[in-house]
Amino acid sequence: FNADGAEAAPVGFAPSPVTVDVPIVSWISAGELGSQDSVVNLSDYPTIPTADLEEGEWIALRVDGPSMNKISPPDSIIFVNLRDKRLVTNGCYVIADETGRATYKRWRPNDNPPFQPASYLDIPPPELEGAITIIGRVKRSMIDM
């Protein structure tokens, strides 16, 4: 009941966010291109529970290096949607060149090369070889304090 004695409207609660377990499969270089072991089965990796991710196929990677430290400091964890490969200006992506080496960079289509660091340090863009493969779009970065 309200203060005036009238019956109060029922209180609505927001639905609980959906939590999914995202596999932490490896690390990703946020500097020079790096090589990682290939992923065979995602169920073989430890997971991190995560809420409110959009529909997709998700992996988590630990960031190694300072070239994306404006967005993801070293040792932060990024969440990558393997189904989202659509390039969006200033979007962040995990990419690989044709040698198979991978990195984490921001898409800047008017720059050369278009995959650029986002760092407080003066770090040059990666030297990519041949065709570039978009592994997935980074949609979240998390760091434990």
Q: pLDDT of 45-88, one tens digit each?
A: 899 999 999 999 999 999 999 999 999 999 999 999 999 999 99
Assess whether pLDDT exceeds 60 at residue 26.
yes
Would you say residue 41 has pLDDT above 80?
A: no
Q: What pTM value is reported for the model?
A: 0.82
Per CATH, the number for 19-142 is 2.10.109.10
Structure-token pair, residue 98: 């044709």
Burial of 108 (0-12, 13-18, 19+ CB in 10 A): middle
pLDDT tens digits for range 76-111: 999 999 999 999 999 999 999 998 889 999 999 999
pLDDT bracket for residue 28 (50, 70, 90):
confident
Rounded alpha-carbon distances, angstroms, from residue 6 to 3, 10, 12, 15: 7, 12, 18, 27
